[in-house]
Structure 1
Amino acid sequence: MGAEPEMAFRLAADSVLLLHLAFIAFVLAGGLLALRWRWAPLLHLPAAAWGVFIELSGRICPLTPLENLLRARAGEVGYAGGFVEHYLLALIYPEGITQGVQGVLAGIVLGVNAGVYAWVWRRRSRSRR
């Protein structure tokens, strides 16, 4: 019976991890949803702005401390830094994250989304003709 609460906290931490990953994917590619739903930018643009803000400000997304808290409650060790630094940059940039790398990531978010919205706008413009 003693392992049940720890397992629940671990599942909750893993759920936060998946939510975090889904949010990052939405920030990067959520503009594509505007091809299907005209209201999608109302959700996506604030999310993308938040992602850019977090990267440029050097802050940590609030989901990271939540995941760490849940992992600690599960008897696991949390991690220092942010989600991107811990999970993604460890694969891409093994030496760690710097302010410059965060600026590059913010630029990628802005560039990808500018390209997606330009494509959506052109496609909609053509369909109106």
Structure 2
Amino acid sequence: MGYRILAEVTMAVHFLFIAFVVLGGFLAWRWPKVVWLHLLAAGWGLCIVLFGLNCPLTYVEDRARERTGEAGLSRGFIDTYLTGVIYPERCLDEVRLLIAAVVVFSYAVAVRRWRVSRG
């Protein structure tokens, strides 16, 4: 029972982390110090995409599911829960570009807002 809860909580945290990677730059509009945490998260997300790194959250969820007797994740978190479910697999590159554009846009507006507020 404990491993099942761990797997489900890890999956939820993973979704929240991905949402933060995509949308966290907008939080910096209100709370500028968040930008440092977001830069780390976005950098980690970029490294996963560019270098095929494995996310520790995927590892935790996978092992927890195996401990419950379920099959572990056969692919990464995004490939399992998002690609082919939320968006078609053939659109993966477009989705990645859209995410990058959202992050860049959020930072561009944040920088502009910070400059205006400074005088």
TM-score (norm 2): 0.86
Determine helix, strand or coil for the equivalent of 2:82: helix
Match of 1:126 in 2: 116
Q: Output the CA distance in 2 between the equivalents of 1:18 and 1:121.
A: 31
Which sections of structure 2, spanning at least 5 residues, go unmatched? none
* TM superposition shift of 1:74: 1.2
Answer yes or no: is 1:27 the counterpart of 2:21.
Answer: yes
Residue-by-residue CA offset, 1:74-121 (whole Å, 9 max, x unaligned) = 12111211000000002122xx58xx94x5554333321110011111
Answer yes or no: is 1:81 the counterpart of 2:71.
Answer: no
Residue-by-residue CA offset, 1:23-73 (whole Å, 9 max, x unaligned) = 100111111111222211111101101101101112331211210110111
Match of 1:45 in 2: 39
| Misfit runs of 4+, over 3 Å | 103-109
Q: Output the CA distance in 2 between the equivalents of 1:11 and 1:105.
A: 30
Which of residues 98, 102, 112 is equivalent to 2:102?
112
TM-score (norm 1): 0.80
- In 2, are the aligned partners of 1:52 and 1:109 still within 8 Å (CA)? no
CA-based RMSD:
1.9
